[in-house]
Amino acid sequence: MEFRHARAIVRQPPTPRVDPRAGGNSVITMQAPDGTLIPNRGVYLDVVANERIVFTDAYTAAWVPSAKPSSPAS
């Protein structure tokens, strides 16, 4: 899988870890063109088959707050 950006192509290594259920966590690691690995950790808040997936990166697992969420709390 490739993600295209205006300045780079980022390839996702083939080992994502996901537990798609409410409270389950995920780790999807992207790799920058220079080889830097960028882990994206999160928690699924709600999963309804064939309807919706709600997740956040504000928590990493078991409601442990993330050190660097992408969206700061207001």
CATH 3.30.530.20 fits 2-56, yes or no: yes
In this structure, what token pair is assigned to residue 20? 């798609």
Domain-wise residue ranges, the chain: 2-56
Helix (H, G, I), strand (E, B) or coil at 44: strand
User: What pTM was estimated for this model as a whole?
Assistant: 0.63
In this structure, what token pair is assigned to residue 42? 């999160």
Between 59 and 11, the higher pLDDT residue: 59
Planar angle of CA 31, 65, 22, nearest 5 degrees: 85
**14-64 pLDDT, tens digit each:** 567 888 898 888 888 877 778 788 888 889 999 999 999 998 888 877 667
Q: Which pLDDT score is estimated for 64?
A: 75
